[in-house]
Chains A and B, each alone.
Chain A
Amino acid sequence: MKMKLRKRTAVAAALSLCLCCTACGTSEEAVPSVPEENKLVVYTSHKEEVYAPIIKEFEERTGIWVELHTGGTSELLEEIAAGNGEFTCDIMFGGGIESYSAYKDCLEPYICSRNGSIKEQYRSVDGSYTAFTELPIVFIYNNKLVDSSQAPTNWQELFYESWQGNIAFGDPQKSGSSYTMLVTLIQVMGMEPEVTLRQFARALDYNVSAGSGQAVEEVSSGVRAIGLTLEETALKAIDNGADISVVYPRDGTSTLPDGCAIVEGAEHEENARCFIEFIVGDDVQQLAVERLHRRSVLENMQETGDNGMKVLDFDVEWAGEHREEILKIWTDIMTEQGR
């Protein structure tokens, strides 16, 4: 009986081997494989309509496979900071550059080859970021609820009694751009940060929306009469038929760019550099202008939108250093009121 058993096992083994061979044979050629040096891991806080064409074109032109992870700016930067060293993240793409200066310890300094072509105020000094597109902060108002003559034209007007509780504004804890708006406000008002914040919080009637995109929705749907948002978000909404208008504050506004940086200890450094070069290349910048309603950081790029806009001198360093402090004050103010 033992002999029979052995025989059977032998036959079974032979058969399974044959099967394996046939199974392997047919599909070997069809299956792609990606060598490690052709990969790139990108963390992005951009929305899909922004990153999708860029990533696709990058893959198509360079043959590098991009592994994408999405999330909020602060969330992703925290992850990078936490997993430093053991993570395989190569690129952080998106988020205001003031966030980048706060996390500069986890980022690899890199100055792209086109640094000279970038507008002077956006050129990175220490290489902790590379500016991607310029994002001016604008006021928006609902055309039906607000007449163009009544619309706010400077930052001071936001504190008018008539606008109290009627301003749409994203939560600065979640939205990098909202934080930038707070800092802009503090800078413009020139008072003690806490005082300004208190006044502003009262002006909002302690209401905040989830993000700057939400703020636009609130204004266009009439929940609030006016709002603060990025030009890009507003223009996109208008393009999609929202009945709102854009106002560029007369006393100036910040046009903080969003950035991109290589993560320290990136596994695919070569590819990461390639990516940064790509996004400050003419093609991507032009696409950003033509399709994405953004402003290019390059000096000679054609602009859409209001060219007569006044740009404030924004202290990025200060914003980065005092971020935690400011946000804490803000949170305290809000929790005091039970929000």
Chain B
Amino acid sequence: MCMLTASVLPLAVCSLFLIQLFQMKISRDYRVMDMELAEEVNGRLELLFSEFEELTGKFCGDGEIAEALRQSDSGNSGEVYRTLYRETKELRDYAWFELYGMDGTCRYSTGTGTYQRRMEPYWGILRKAAEEEGRLVVLRADDPSGDAVLQAARLIGDAQGNAGFFVINMGLQEFETALKGTYGGQDGICILDSFLETVYDAGSAAGENLGEVLRERLLRNEPIQADCNGNSIYLDKSEKMGLYTVLLRPQVFTANTVNSMYSVLFIMIAVLFAVCTLLVINLSNRLSRPIHVLNRTMHEVQVGNLDTRMQEDWPTTEFAEMSGNFNFMTADLKKYMENQVEQQKQMNEIQIAMMQAQLNPHFLYNTLDTVKWVAKANHVPEIVTLVSKLAKILRAAISKEQFTTLRGEMELVESYAEIQRIRFDGRFECVCSYDEKLADCELPKLVIQPIVENAVIHGLSECEDGHIQVDAFAGGTDRDSVLVVEVRDDGCGIGQEVIDRLNNGGLQERTGHIGLGNVDKIIRLNYGEAYGVKICRPKQGGTLVTLTFPLRKERTADAENTGGR
């Protein structure tokens, strides 16, 4: 968008400005030329009239002519005519010349044909000439029967008084001759009297009826020199004659010309627009899209999706390289993360192994066996039971197998309980129950026993008659997905502090409750955070410890029972 305006706008402004300037300059130049032409036309007429003035001056002071006019007969007419023709030789192309008596009858005329002309002496130009004695007056002709369109008259008089009038007549033909060559074929010319009535018009002015148009404009107080049908109007006045010369010139810049110039401009702008748009699209492909895609992919990586890769087939090599590098980086990162997890897992496994293999098994078995036999030989059955159960437990603990079945684990618990009952002299009772169907479920070894131990040592330590209930059943939101083991005792209840500690995972620190913490840790390391140990104090008193495992059947089809006897 920005680029579009940046390129189109200067062009538009520049061109508009240029067109305007060009138009103004050319119009101005032509206007100057046209005004000169108008002045030239006017000048031509004024020249003609100054010659008329000179001519009439000669006649009007001539006593002989005056005398001849006073006489009503045509006595001296030959002489008068000769003078008349002689003096007007140069000018007869531009007018015909007449001499009138004071009564208004035409006495002498250089016009063709015989005019029995009469002009009313109390009217029109003769009256005016009489009024403005000694001056050549000019008026538009109003006699429809004659051919003249313009008349100039001067009073002829001598010392004895007024004798008549010298009248100069100009018709259409005469005007044409006078103004020939001053204006061009496409122009129009119009001569108007001081009341803007048409005396003569030619060329385009005749068709337009220019005189009428201008007069109307004037009477309506509209600007006279406004353009007329694509033509410019130039008005010039001759003060001497009281006439207006109007030149009609076709405009240099007609509406058509200007329109076509603007059309060209618009087309160019449109083309430029299109080109710019193409350019912008291209640029977008090369620059902004790769960046955008990169941005998006980075965001993906940010939220953890390390499998995302960017496309590498960008048109620009720099972007292709960048994408390649980005993909490498992401792959590396993924590998690194996986390595970390792997290492961590290994670490845990080692820790667990270490936790569990601290003793040489053979030595312990053998010694216990010996104890058992000696006890039997000495007939002490309690020792036999103690040692047998202990051996069982130890076997399980020392075995390299990390996992056992539920049945096996329950047997261990019972063994343990047996031992403790002997020690504590029947002060408590431990009952284990589980669903036969779940007997083959897998769980880590020695996870329930520490819980029971905890219950015995801490829960029932103050009691005389305690009960421990161990139940195992299938649970969880999705019916057979979780194996739940509950260890319930009705003892004094576990401390809140312990519950909190366990829930926060820091139970290993306290030496007194290592078992709980360890079990929780083992479960979580093996199966994830969703499973583990939960302790609570039920309403009826005592303590309830819940262990959750994923419900899985035994891993190996191995006949070797870890539970054993």
Q: Which residues of A contact B (CB under 8 A)?
A: 1, 5, 8, 12, 15-16, 19, 22-23, 26-27, 29-34, 39, 48-49, 52-53, 56-57, 59-60, 65, 67, 282-283, 286-287, 290-291
Residues in B neighbouring A27, C-beta threshold 8 A = 35, 225, 234-235
Q: How far is the CB of B232 from chain A (nearest CB, A)?
A: 11
**A27-B234, A30-B235, A30-B237 given as contacts; is B123 within 8 A of A283 (CB)?**
yes
Which of B10, B120, B218 is A287 in contact with, Cβ under 8 Å?
B120
Residues in A neighbouring B6, C-beta threshold 8 A = 1
Which of A19, A32, A57 is B123 in contact with, Cβ under 8 Å?
A57
Other than the given A32-B224, A60-B128, A283-B123, 15 more pairs (CB < 8 A) read A1-B9, A12-B20, A16-B20, A19-B24, A30-B235, A31-B224, A32-B218, A49-B144, A52-B144, A60-B124, A60-B139, A60-B195, A65-B219, A286-B122, A290-B120
Q: How far is the CB of A39 from chain B (nearest CB, A)?
A: 7
Once bound together, how far apart are the Cα atoms of A282 and B194, in whole Å?
25
Q: How far is the CB of B29 from chain A (nearest CB, A)?
A: 11
Check B120–A286 contact: CB distance below 8 A.
yes
Once bound together, how far apart are the Cα atoms of A31 and B225, in whole Å?
8
Q: How far is the CB of A275 from chain B (nearest CB, A)?
A: 15
Which 4 pairs, one residue from A and one from B, show the smallest C-beta to C-beta distance? A53-B142, A30-B237, A56-B142, A30-B235
**A12-B17, A23-B31, A283-B122 given as contacts; is B195 within 8 A of A65 (CB)?**
yes
Residues in B neighbouring A34, C-beta threshold 8 A = 218-219, 221
Residues in A neighbouring B237, C-beta threshold 8 A = 29-30, 32
Contact of B196 with A by CB under 8 A: yes
Contact of B488 with A by CB under 8 A: no
**A31-B235, A60-B128 given as contacts; is B120 within 8 A of A19 (CB)?**
no
Q: How far is the CB of A60 from chain B (nearest CB, A)?
A: 7
Check A291–B120 contact: CB distance below 8 A.
yes
Contact of B312 with A by CB under 8 A: no
Contact of B557 with A by CB under 8 A: no
The residues in B between 183 and 236 inclusive whose CB is less than 8 angstroms from any CB of A are 194-197, 218-219, 221, 224-225, 234-236
Residues in B neighbouring A53, C-beta threshold 8 A = 123-124, 142-143
The residues in B between 81 and 128 inclusive whose CB is less than 8 angstroms from any CB of A are 120, 122-124, 127-128
Report 26 cross-chain contacts, Cβ distance below 8 Å, ordered by A residue: A12-B17, A12-B21, A15-B21, A15-B24, A19-B24, A27-B35, A27-B225, A27-B234, A32-B244, A34-B218, A39-B219, A48-B144, A52-B144, A53-B143, A56-B124, A56-B197, A60-B128, A60-B139, A60-B195, A65-B218, A67-B219, A282-B122, A283-B123, A283-B127, A286-B122, A287-B120
Residues in A neighbouring B21, C-beta threshold 8 A = 12, 15
Residues in A neighbouring B24, C-beta threshold 8 A = 15-16, 19
Residues in A neighbouring B235, C-beta threshold 8 A = 27, 30-31
Q: How far is the CB of A5 from chain B (nearest CB, A)?
A: 6
Residues in B neighbouring A22, C-beta threshold 8 A = 28
Can you list, as one digit per residue, whether each of B19-53 has a CB less than 8 Å from chain A (1) or not (0)?
A: 01100100110010001000000000000000000
Residues in A neighbouring B122, C-beta threshold 8 A = 282-283, 286
Residues in B neighbouring A31, C-beta threshold 8 A = 224-225, 235
Residues in B neighbouring A283, C-beta threshold 8 A = 122-123, 127
Check A8–B140 contact: CB distance below 8 A.
no
Q: Which of B6, B140, B237 has the most CB of A within 10 A?
A: B237
Q: How many chain B residues touch the partner (CB < 8 A)?
A: 37
Contact of B13 with A by CB under 8 A: yes
Residues in B neighbouring A5, C-beta threshold 8 A = 13
Can you list, as one digit per residue, whether each of B228-264 has a CB less than 8 Å from chain A (1) or not (0)?
A: 0000001111000000100000000000000000000
Q: How far is the CB of B37 from chain A (nearest CB, A)?
A: 13
Residues in A neighbouring B124, C-beta threshold 8 A = 53, 56-57, 60
Q: How far is the CB of A34 from chain B (nearest CB, A)?
A: 6
Q: How far is the CB of B142 from chain A (nearest CB, A)?
A: 4
Once bound together, how far apart are the Cα atoms of A59 and B215, in whole Å?
14
Check B28–A19 contact: CB distance below 8 A.
yes
Check B140–A56 contact: CB distance below 8 A.
yes
Once bound together, how far apart are the Cα atoms of A30 and B246, in whole Å?
11
Q: How far is the CB of B141 from chain A (nearest CB, A)?
A: 10
Once bound together, how far apart are the Cα atoms of A34 and B142, in whole Å?
23
Nearest residue (CB) in B for A26 is B35
Residues in B neighbouring A23, C-beta threshold 8 A = 28, 31
Once bound together, how far apart are the Cα atoms of A52 and B244, in whole Å?
20
Which of B10, B142, B236 is A1 in contact with, Cβ under 8 Å?
B10
Check B142–A52 contact: CB distance below 8 A.
yes
Q: How far is the CB of A16 from chain B (nearest CB, A)?
A: 7
Nearest residue (CB) in B for A5 is B13
**A27-B225, A27-B234 given as contacts; is B35 within 8 A of A8 (CB)?**
no
Check A30–B218 contact: CB distance below 8 A.
no
Residues in B neighbouring A30, C-beta threshold 8 A = 235-237, 244
Once bound together, how far apart are the Cα atoms of A114 and B117, in whole Å?
32
Residues in A neighbouring B219, C-beta threshold 8 A = 34, 39, 65, 67
Nearest residue (CB) in B for A59 is B195
Once bound together, how far apart are the Cα atoms of A16 and B234, in whole Å?
20
Residues in B neighbouring A65, C-beta threshold 8 A = 195, 218-219
Residues in A neighbouring B244, C-beta threshold 8 A = 30, 32
Once bound together, how far apart are the Cα atoms of A282 and B120, in whole Å?
13
Once bound together, how far apart are the Cα atoms of A32 and B24, in whole Å?
27
Residues in A neighbouring B139, C-beta threshold 8 A = 60
Residues in A neighbouring B28, C-beta threshold 8 A = 19, 22-23
Nearest residue (CB) in A for B125 is A60
Nearest residue (CB) in B for A11 is B17
Once bound together, how far apart are the Cα atoms of A126 and B254, in whole Å?
59
Can you list, as one digit per residue, whether each of B310-335 has a CB less than 8 Å from chain A (1) or not (0)?
A: 00000000000000000000000000
Q: How far is the CB of B181 from chain A (nearest CB, A)?
A: 23
Q: How far is the CB of A274 from chain B (nearest CB, A)?
A: 16
Once bound together, how far apart are the Cα atoms of A156 and B6, in whole Å?
98
Q: How far is the CB of A56 from chain B (nearest CB, A)?
A: 5
Once bound together, how far apart are the Cα atoms of A124 and B540, in whole Å?
139
